[in-house]
Structure 1
Amino acid sequence: MPVEFRCTGCSKLLRTPDESAGKKAKCPQCGEIVDVPTQSQSVVDAAPTKFQQEVAETNPFGHVASSPSVALSNPYESPPISAPQVKQQHLPVLEHRQISFDETLRMCWEVTQNQLGPIALCGLLYLAIAVGTNMATGFIAPIGQAMKEPAVQISGQIVQQVAGFFVNTYLQLGLLIFGLNLVRTGTARVSDMFQVGPYYLRGLGLFLLMTVIYYGVMLVCMIPAFGTILTERPEIIIPAFVVFGLLGFTCGMYAILRMVLAGAFLVDRNTGIRESLRLSDQYMAGNKLATFLLSFVTGIVGMLVVLVTCCIGSVVVAPFMLGVLFPTIYLLATGQPTYKSQLHV
């Protein structure tokens, strides 16, 4: 007798042979990996009680009355207050692993080759929205400059930066969601890029905190360089700013490498800001150097692609980091299944 159960990702009714009970199956519709139950998931009506039998015998409409033990579903009923705002899925257990430079780069290349169309479309949307926001908010500063009003010019620059931060946060979270589904299942839906709603406010707080930490670390490292200004000796000031500037950049990059997976944890595990940062620091242990080399190499190659293609390649390079590279690093570092590991399921 086949086993019937619902997919935890899209609620599609699945049917497998009884010998597959207790194993894993892949949903043909959404690609979700689901545990096959030992028996079909069905609702069995409870046996009628003595009171129900008496009512059915004396009530002329008893034969059509529904059993009070079965709850009637109302399609117009409002959800309870305790209903979760984010769809909960069965997620695999996390297992800390050390990523390989070659394996990660090879997987990123295969994903990009197989799903170049959706990735390029996401990149086109990303660039169009980001550039459109910048143009829509960038007219204030030139007006202030033409009016010779520093206050208007500064206000325009602030508005442009704030609007850019809000929009870029949404786009970056969207690319992470898109990329996680892409690397997990091997298929991509551009609509995933716009499923940011439940995570947006926490994403704003997370990215703002990460920015503050990065620049805060850099400023702390630069304090000795600022101190040399008091000497009024250029032969000391300039080398000091160069040396401590490099030190600040290095320390800032180290801080970013510890936090780089926080956004992926937030959208994948629905964690809070603090928990996302803690998990990122935990699973980046032993993976910082490989992540830095991957980011550096792909960044250099990406710049060359943009230059050679006269900026046309930006539609692929722009979403590659957040939409392919970092989701791949996240899934491999946390020991979660990818599309390659599920091919044999």
Structure 2
Amino acid sequence: MTIDFHCPHCEKFLKTTEDKAGLQAKCPGCGGVITIPGATGAELPHEATSEMSPPPVPGGTGSQVRECPVCRAEVSDSAIRCRTCGEVFPSRSVIVAGRPAGQREIRPFPPGEVIEEAWRIFMQKMGLMCGALFVMVFLCLIAGGFVFLLAVVAGFLSDTGNEVGAAVGWTCFGIGYLLLLFFNLYLQIGYMILSLKVAREEHAELSDLFTGGRYVVRVLLNSLVFSLIVMVGLVLLVVPGVLAFFMLWPFSYLIIDKNYRGLEGLKRAKSLTEGNLGSIFLIFCVGCLGNLAGSLVCYVGMFLTIPYVCLLLALSYDRMSCQTPLAGEATASI
């Protein structure tokens, strides 16, 4: 049974399945947020439906496009999320013959589609993304300037022979430097939270930059272990270190998104990136080239390229997390 209704904002005729009743989606016509009504209302005659609703796009093997079940927009057959209404498509083969229940299906995400989608979202949210980066850099410079001032005072006391004052000054500098590192990490995590919300086209605002406090210790711990693994891999003929980097890089997104404890983020990261290493490599190549281009314009261009690259990485994580669940997480047969 289907639900036929009109958008309350632009009166566009929409059609979806009965199980979507009560959910919110974006109208493909005007982009307004709508609540899908229940199936109790009167449906339009079949003639009206055939005239106003686009014909179904066949799916299945060999199809290049299919139809979103919520907004009826055409999407790529390999798409994981509808770019019109944000609907996440469940896997059509979560449990496959020969694969134990709960094991993650390997399905590489299309890097070209992610790059294009990230650019579309970035153009819509450029002000927020660039503004948040400017605020983050400004606050880091202020905090760094204060720590530098502590170092200057401590050096001055050392030069004047005031040993007690110099000891106190250098101690304050050391404490201030550690606090500066934590503050920078705190803002970086906040920017990742903001980027992930923007990538998912959820409501995001500048205050999200200051919401990463509870993740700082966990991200720092996982970052230290991650750096150690990569360094050891680089010593072992470089290639193992590069592979380790690409396999484990989304650990911070997993901690933020799934609220994982301890080193669970690193443990889950390998399962998340399985089958996606080629796509991840291309995404990082695009990110490096973008930041390089930004640095050539007296580094000012990086205020545009860094937000886009951050959004690109967040969207790549989102695409991987929208695939079938990680090993050990609950799954359901479709």
Going from structure 1 to structure 2, the CA distance change for 1:102 and 1:27 (only over 3 Å counts) comes to closer
SS in 2 for 1:272: coil
Q: Which residue number corresponds to residue 58 of structure 1?
A: none
Corresponding residue for residue 125 of structure 2: 115
Structure 2, unpaired ranges of 5+? 4-13, 27-31, 41-87, 91-103, 325-334
Query: Does 1:167 find its partner at 2:183?
Result: yes
SS of structure 1 residue aligned to 2:19: coil
- Residues 1:217 and 1:304: Cα distance change in structure 2 (over 3 Å): closer
1:149-188 superposed matches below 5 A: 155=171, 158-185=174-201, 188=204
Aligned match for 1:26, one of 24, 42, 53: 24
> What does residue range 1-345 of structure 1 map to in structure 2 within 5 Å?
21-23=18-20, 25-26=23-24, 97-146=107-156, 147=158, 155=171, 158-185=174-201, 188-197=204-213, 199-200=214-215, 203-215=216-228, 217-218=230-231, 222=235, 247=237, 250-308=239-297, 310-322=298-310, 324-335=311-322
> Given the superposition, is the C-alpha separation of residues 143 and 32 from structure 1 closer, same or farther in structure 2, using an over 3 Å criterion?
farther
1:50 aligned residue: none
Instruction: Report the Cα offset of residue 161 of structure 1.
Output: 4.3
How far apart are the structure 2 equivalents of 1:92 and 1:196? 29
CA pair 154-103 structure 1, distance change in 2 beyond 3 A: farther
| Residues 334 and 33 of structure 1: CA distance in aligned 2, closer, same or farther (over 3 Å) | farther
Q: TM-score, normalised by structure 2?
A: 0.59
Cα–Cα, structure 1 residues 92 and 153, in superposed 2: closer, same or farther, change >3 Å? Answer: farther
Amino acid at match of 2:20: K
Show CA shifts across 1:66-111 (max 9, x none): xxxxxxxxxxxxxxxxxxxxxxxxx987865312221221122112
- Which has the greater radius of gyration? 1
The amino acid across from 2:19 in the alignment is G
> Matched residues in 1 for 2:211 and 2:140: separation?
17
TM-score (norm 1): 0.57
* Contact 1:177/1:267 (<8 A) preserved: yes
CA separation of 1:111 and 1:276: change in aligned 2, threshold 3 A:
same
Which amino acid letter does the alignment assign opposite residue 164 of structure 1? L
Structure 1: unaligned runs, 5 residues or longer: 4-16, 40-90, 223-243, 338-345
Q: Give the residue type in structure 2 aligned to 1:215.
A: L
Q: For the residues of structure 2 that align with 1:208 and 1:195, how far apart are their CA atoms?
A: 18
Residue identity matched to 1:127? V
TM-aligned CA deviation for residue 195 of structure 1: 2.9
Task: Measure, in 2, the Cα distance between the counterparts of 1:185 and 1:280.
Answer: 23
Give me the identity figure in percent. Answer: 21
- Could you tell me how far 1:117 is from its partner in structure 2? 0.9
The alignment yields a C-alpha RMSD, in angstroms, of 4.0
**CA 1:96 to 1:269, structure 2 compared with 1: closer, same or farther past 3 Å?**
farther
Deviation for aligned residue 1:20: 6.0
Matched positions, count: 244
1:135 is aligned with what amino acid?
G
Write the distance in 2 (CA, Å) between the matches of 1:121 and 1:35: 34
**Alignment check: 8 A CA contact 1:178 1:189 kept:** yes
- The code of the aligned residue for 2:139 comes to I
